[in-house]
Amino acid sequence: MKNIYNYTLQNLEDYFLEIGEKKFKAIQTFEWLYKKRVSDFEQMKNIKNDTIMKMKNDFSFNSIKIVTYKQGKDVYKFLFQLQDNNYVEAVLMLHDYGNSLCVSTQVGCNMGCAFCESGRLKKVRDLETYEMVCQILEIEKTLDIRISHVVLMGIGEPFDNYDNVIKFIKIINDGKGIDIGARHITVSTSGIVPKIEQFIKDGNQVNLAISLHAPNNEIRNKIMKINKAYDIEQLMSVIKKYIKETNRRVTFEYIMLDGVNDSKKCALELANLLKGINCYVNLIPYNETSHIEYKKSSEQSIKEFYDILKKNKINVTIRREFGRTVDAACGQLRANYEEG
């Protein structure tokens, strides 16, 4: 039986046409699911009984379950149990501009970034679209809040689960669906160049973020295996193409690792690499974990790095630190739960 939350509005229109119904039933169904938040076809009062019976035979409302969550200052970390007893996480950050949810896209991750907790636990499988959608629905229901921003930066590489991720974006962006604006949705990738090419071709209007974390191939090869497949030159080439064709700004994520990528020399190299590109850099203080040897850069190193980029006219911010008390490193809560 197929999960109803796997279906975009277009998918549902196609379904209703296939069963001999009018496609406007898709809009009605979407509004019941995402505006009124019902989880029982019998509650969809403006849809006739024989259509309800067909839908009950064809679809399930299977969801995911919040096993536990931790709360810190302006942050919640959720651990979800999936139908097959795998686990994923989501992190909710409360900002003055709204509530931002960082969702997972895979169970585990095969990118193998040396500093990343979720990369220690190898990829088991991709998440289905509904398992991403339900991260939002379950958290909104549990906390009685509205999530206004979504970032795909949790466990997994979103572009390694491209088709399900794109369907997820369509559902949450749809005005009849969860209705989160395209400018409030960000997809982060470690740099799978062919998928960025596909992303350009598909004409997606959401934000793109690149997990860069190094200004040159030598350092990036050591900390990010993906760079051996698609090096910085290839990555920057496709990013320039993306900016030219979409006229959108790109975010470069840069985790500050003590003694690895945080020197003044690295800052100057990064400034030269990004010169003239419509982008901004997000410097991220590293969330240390007990399983990984890397350490967070000192506040002074981060400040000096920031100043060099600023002086070289690179738009840069230092990400506010969230949730050091709630196992907020990506994959950390899941790892501690499964191993502990």
pLDDT digits (tens, 9 = 90+) for 65-100: 999 999 999 999 999 999 999 999 999 999 999 999
Q: Cβ(65)–Cβ(80) under 8 Å?
A: yes
Q: What is the pLDDT of residue 337?
A: 46
Catalytic residues: 89, 330
Q: What is the pLDDT of residue 105?
A: 98
- What does R_g of the chain's alpha carbons equal in angstroms? 21
Flag whether pLDDT at 121 surpasses 80: no
Which distant-in-sequence residues (6+ apart) come within 8 Å of 292 by Cβ? 114, 115, 116, 117, 120
Dihedral-angle region of residue 281 (phi above 0 means left; psi in -120 to 50 means alpha; beta otherwise): beta
- The hierarchical CATH code for the domain 2-60 is 1.10.150.530
Confidence tier at 333 by pLDDT (50, 70, 90)? low
Q: What is the pLDDT of residue 339?
A: 43
Confidence tier at 331 by pLDDT (50, 70, 90)? very low
pLDDT digits (tens, 9 = 90+) for 152-167: 999 999 999 999 999 9
d(CA 39, CA 29): 11
Confidence tier at 289 by pLDDT (50, 70, 90)? confident
pTM (2 d.p.): 0.93
Mean of pLDDT values over 252-271: 98
> Which amino acid, 325?
T
Which distant-in-sequence residues (6+ apart) come within 8 Å of 34 by Cβ? 171, 174, 176, 177, 178, 179
Q: Name the CATH code of domain 65-339 (choices 3.40.50.300, 3.20.20.70, 3.90.1150.10, 3.40.50.2300).
A: 3.20.20.70
The mean predicted confidence, pLDDT, of the chain is 93
pLDDT digits (tens, 9 = 90+) for 53-74: 999 999 999 999 999 999 999 9
Q: Cβ(337)–Cβ(87) under 8 Å?
A: yes
Q: In the chain, what percentage of residues exceed pLDDT 70?
A: 94
Per-domain residue ranges for the chain?
Answer: 2-60, 65-339
β-bridge pairing 279-285 and 250-256 = parallel
Flag whether pLDDT at 336 surpasses 90: no
Flag whether pLDDT at 145 surpasses 90: yes
Q: Give the position of tokens 């698609």.
A: 230
Q: What is the pLDDT of residue 120?
A: 73
Confidence tier at 327 by pLDDT (50, 70, 90)? low
pLDDT digits (tens, 9 = 90+) for 302-326: 999 999 999 999 999 998 876 555 5
Mean of pLDDT values over 114-119: 82
pLDDT digits (tens, 9 = 90+) for 176-227: 999 999 999 999 999 999 999 999 999 989 999 999 999 999 999 999 999 9
Q: What is the pLDDT of residue 340?
A: 44
State the helix-helix crossing angle for 129-143 and 162-173, rounded to 10 degrees: 40
Q: What is the pLDDT of residue 324?
A: 55
Question: Cα 138–336–79 angle (5° rounding)?
Answer: 0
